[in-house]
């Protein structure tokens, strides 16, 4: 890969994860910097959990402009930050950190939530009081998405293998917004809660590479007619769940858009510039079709 010119003015951003080598973000952001002629670089930073605090002080000391954080640091980084946004408090997770080196401050933000909502809007999926949303999963992504949708007035049901995790999120969202219609059930109640769903979101990791023949949907449960299925997984681009749902007549959307829009939001927060979205999509599509 051509790195181009690096000099004393080069600004650095990156991603902290463990592992991190699979991340598409370095290629996506570096392509955007090159396209806009910006002297910025985005680097992968392999940070084991026990070195996270040190690593965060490290990027501050080194003058980085920001970092993304991914698994397993999205929640554990929060106590090490100087401030967080309302979206972080609600989602309980950070995926983007903005660094103000002059003030020595780290600010935690969540662009997964806005990335998901932007992609829904781009795909003309509207969520309102009439909507019945089923979210499969109750991990970090499910919580961010649920929190992002809670204010729409939609009826939201978390369906998770470990029902207590869903119940915890539902309790939290209800306590945050009066009148928020949210509940949580176990997988055995999928048929009951999904028969009239208008939007189904897979926020579990089931079906993700390399376990591409797995699906979080139960074989004995029919897909609701006329629903939209959104799978947050983007590797593979088309999951078994998406194929099965499409065969049953549902409109399906994969998670690549969410990835791109969370990255685009981080890019704009760090640089103040709008990134070239289509180029970022092409870069990711190329990488994903190679793997």
| Active-site amino acid positions | 74
Q: How far apart are CA 220 and CA 237, in angstroms?
A: 25
Lay out the site mask for ligand NAP across 51-90 (x = CB under 6 A, - = otherwise).
--------------------x-------------------
Residue 205 within binding range of ligand NAP, rule CB under 6 A: yes
Site for ligand NAP (CB under 6 A): which residue of 234, 252, 253, 284?
234
Q: Which residue reads 């591409």 in tokens? A: 212
Q: How far is the CB of 112 from ligand NAP (least distance, A)?
A: 5
> Of 290, 282, 289, 272, which Cα lies nearest the Cα of 27?
282
Name beta bridge partners: 159.
136, 185
The stretch among 28-36, 56-64, 161-169, 172-180 that binds ligand NAP (CB under 6 A) is 161-169
The angle at the Cα of 229, spanning 249 to 146, to the nearest 5 degrees, equals 155
Among 26, 137, 146, 224, interactor with ligand NAP by CB under 6 A: 137
Is 251 a residue that touches ligand NAP (CB under 6 A)? Answer: no
- 123 counts as binding ligand NAP under rule CB under 6 A: no
Angle at the Cα of 115 from the Cα atoms of 109 and 119, rounded to 5 degrees:
170
Contact by Cβ (8 Å): 266, 68 = yes
Residue choice 44, 108, 139, 275 for contact with ligand NAP (CB under 6 A): 139
Residue 171 near residue 163, CB atoms below 8 Å:
no
Q: Quick check: bond before 210 cis, omega within 30?
A: yes
> Of 189 and 205, which CB lies nearer to ligand NAP in the complex structure?
205
Which among 6-14, 47-55, 98-106, 199-207 is the span making contact with ligand NAP, rule CB under 6 A? 199-207
SS (H, E, C) 210-222: CCCCCCCCCCCCC
Given the DSSP bridges, would you call strands 251-253 and 228-231 parallel, antiparallel or unpaired?
A: parallel
Tell me whether residue 60 or residue 203 sits nearer to ligand NAP (CB atom). 203
Of residues 262, 265, 266, 283, which one binds ligand NAP by CB under 6 A? 262
Establish if 141 lies at the interface with ligand NAP (CB under 6 A).
yes
CA dihedral 21, 24, 30, 33 (to 10 degrees): -150
232 binds ligand NAP (CB under 6 A): yes
Site residues, ligand NAP (CB under 6 A): 71, 112, 115, 137-142, 160-162, 165, 203-206, 208, 216, 232-234, 255, 258-259, 262
């Amino acid at each position: 890969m051509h790195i181009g010119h690096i000099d004393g003015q080069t600004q650095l951003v990156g991603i902290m994860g463990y592992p991190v080598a699979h991340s598409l973000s370095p290629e996506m952001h570096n392509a955007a910097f090159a396209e806009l002629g910006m002297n910025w670089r985005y680097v992968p930073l392999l940070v084991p959990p026990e070195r996270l605090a040190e690593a965060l002080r490290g990027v501050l000391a080194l003058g980085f402009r920001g970092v993304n954080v991914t698994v397993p640091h999205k929640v554990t980084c929060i106590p090490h930050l100087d401030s967080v946004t309302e979206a972080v408090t609600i989602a309980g997770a950070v995926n983007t950190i903005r660094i103000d080196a002059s003030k020595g401050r780290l600010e935690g933000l969540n662009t997964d939530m806005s990335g998901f909502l932007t992609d829904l809007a781009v795909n003309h999926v509207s969520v309102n009081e009439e909507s019945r949303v089923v979210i499969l999963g109750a991990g970090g992504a499910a919580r961010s998405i649920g929190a992002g949708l809670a204010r729409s007035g939609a009826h939201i049901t978390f369906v998770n293998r470990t029902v207590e995790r869903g119940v915890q999120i539902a309790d939290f969202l209800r306590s945050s917004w009066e009148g928020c219609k949210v509940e949580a059930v176990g997988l055995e109640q999928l048929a009951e809660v999904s028969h009239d769903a208008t939007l189904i979101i897979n926020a579990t990791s089931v079906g993700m590479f390399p376990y591409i023949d797995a699906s979080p949907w139960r074989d004995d449960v029919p897909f609701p007619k006329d629903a939209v299925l959104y799978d947050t997984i983007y590797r593979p681009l088309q999951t078994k769940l998406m194929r099965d749902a499409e065969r049953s007549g549902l409109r399906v959307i994969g998670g690549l858009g969410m990835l791109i829009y969370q990255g685009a939001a981080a890019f704009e927060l760090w640089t103040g510039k709008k990134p070239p979205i289509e180029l970022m999509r092409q870069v990711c599509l190329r990488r994903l079709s190679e793997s």
